[in-house]
């Protein structure tokens, strides 16, 4: 084996639902299929040459590999040893990073009831890598799972049990403790401790893969915000998968579930709403289009702040800001907005004037075109 590339499968249905997914055979989402196709295109664009794709027999990895093979022309073959770890009694439970599950994973002899221990997993992956290593002139792409990726990494890099289990958890814990920080800030500090302070390709690749941490932390705060409002007896309409798993709500009748739908329907729902709830992604110098869409459709957006948002929209200009650290203040702020029609409408009016001038899709297109023209001129 002269070189090895590793590709994790695209987004699966249980990734979206935040469920623990090991040996259970769960398919890709539409987005997961698109991610796989884009990965194939990127392999072609970057001129990566390999002899063979080996993939896990589970559907989410097999379909990812087949898309890549179709885009690249690289032959693909199923390798049963690349199947994800069997998490036994934890399969299908939620959330994926439940503290009890993370604690159980630190015991490398734990079979999770009727599953597979970390030692058993490492044995089959190490055996496979030993065999591939003997093929000195061949280059491979492995298409498999997150758990397999960690074992592959440990084959090439010495890691203690604690390092293996806690690296990503440490980043997540830091972000939950310091919600004003960005993923980049926290992840960079952790990566530098692992890899040194000098920027390099390995560090850039590691940071690029932190998107799942952004999704986890964002969903954590979204869940906490919705739970806080529902527990205060405020009706909250939520759209998409996973919300039925929300636990510990004192007023479940206030949690109004709607199936996953398209963007146009979401905009129509915003037009029917008085208040929308937003939790910012962890790029703190930007904004989410949900903020602007809410204002344009007549709803006040209650959101945590970002540097960019606070520059563009002051408090009371279509938005009301609530710091994530001050979640207890959220119910009263929302109640005040719902009960004060004239005040709420005035907030929307002030915000809409700004958004219509600067933050429609048409205005964004003009700004981008101007930047492109300026860049071309230089």
CATH number 3.40.50.1240 is the correct assignment for the domain at 3-158: yes
- Tell me what pLDDT residue 165 has: 58
Q: Which CATH architecture is the domain 234-367 placed in? A: 3-Layer(aba) Sandwich (3.40)
Separation CA 93–CA 21 (nearest Å): 8
pLDDT (tens digit, 9 = 90+) per residue, 140-172? 999 999 889 888 887 887 666 566 556 677 777
pLDDT (tens digit, 9 = 90+) per residue, 160-211? 656 655 667 777 788 888 887 877 778 777 776 665 555 555 555 556 556 6
Give 12's DSSP letter: B
Which range among 44-48, 132-136, 175-179 shows the weakest confidence by mean pLDDT? Answer: 175-179
Separation CA 236–CA 277 (nearest Å): 9
Which range among 40-44, 249-253, 367-371 shows the weakest confidence by mean pLDDT? Answer: 249-253
Domain boundaries, the chain: 3-158, 234-367
Q: What is the average pLDDT score of the chain?
A: 87
pLDDT (tens digit, 9 = 90+) per residue, 54-101? 999 999 999 999 999 999 999 999 999 999 999 999 999 988 888 788
SS3 of 64, please? helix
Using alpha carbons, select from 120, 95, 229, 241 the residue that is nearest to residue 172: 95
- Tell me what pLDDT residue 27 has: 96
User: Catalytic amino acids?
Assistant: 9, 84
232: pLDDT strictly greater than 80? yes
C-alpha distance from residue 359 to each of 194, 271, 356 (Å): 41, 18, 6
Is 234-367 in the same CATH topology as 3-158? yes
Give 85's DSSP letter: P
- For residues 288 and 280, is the Cβ–Cβ distance under 8 A? yes
* Global pTM value: 0.57
Angle between helices 341-358 and 289-296 (to 10 degrees): 120
* DSSP H/E element including 226: helix 211-231
């Amino acid at each position: 084996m002269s070189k090895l590339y590793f590709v994790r499968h695209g987004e699966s249905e249980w990734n979206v639902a935040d469920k623990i997914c090991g040996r259970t055979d769960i398919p890709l989402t539409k987005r997961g299929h698109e991610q796989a196709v884009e990965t194939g295109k990127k392999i072609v664009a970057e001129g990566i040459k390999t002899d063979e794709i080996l993939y896990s027999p589970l559907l989410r990895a097999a379909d990812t590999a087949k898309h890549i093979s179709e885009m690249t022309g690289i032959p693909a073959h199923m390798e049963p040893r690349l199947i994800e770890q069997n998490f036994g009694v934890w399969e299908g439970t939620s959330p994926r990073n439940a503290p009890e599950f993370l604690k159980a994973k630190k015991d490398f002899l734990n079979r999770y009831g009727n599953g597979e221990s970390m030692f058993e997993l490492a044995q089959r992956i190490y055996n496979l890598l030993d065999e591939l290593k003997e093929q000195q002139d061949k280059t491979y792409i492995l298409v498999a799972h997150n758990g397999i990726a960690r074992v592959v990494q440990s084959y090439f890099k010495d890691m203690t049990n604690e390092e293996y289990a806690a690296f990503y958890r440490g980043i997540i814990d830091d972000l939950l403790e310091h919600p004003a920080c960005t993923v980049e800030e926290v992840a960079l500090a952790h990566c530098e401790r692992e890899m040194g302070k000098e920027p390099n390709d390995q560090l850039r690749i590691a940071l690029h893969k932190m998107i799942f941490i952004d999704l986890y932390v964002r969903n954590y705060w979204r869940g906490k915000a919705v739970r806080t409002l529902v527990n205060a007896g405020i009706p909250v309409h939520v759209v998409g998968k996973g919300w039925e798993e929300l636990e510990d709500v004192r007023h479940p009748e206030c949690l109004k579930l709607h199936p996953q739908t398209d963007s146009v329907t979401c905009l129509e729902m915003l037009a029917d709403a008085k208040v929308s709830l937003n939790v910012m992604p962890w790029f703190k110098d930007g904004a989410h289009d949900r903020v602007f869409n809410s204002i344009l459709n007549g709803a006040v957006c209650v959101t945590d702040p970002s540097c960019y948002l606070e520059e563009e929209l002051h408090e009371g200009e279509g938005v009301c800001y609530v710091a994530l650290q001050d979640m207890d203040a959220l119910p009263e702020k929302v109640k005040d907005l719902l009960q004060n029609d004239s005040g709420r409408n005035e907030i929307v009016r002030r915000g809409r004037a700004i958004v219509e001038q600067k933050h429609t899709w048409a205005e964004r297109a003009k700004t981008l075109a101007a930047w492109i023209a300026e860049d071309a001129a230089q």
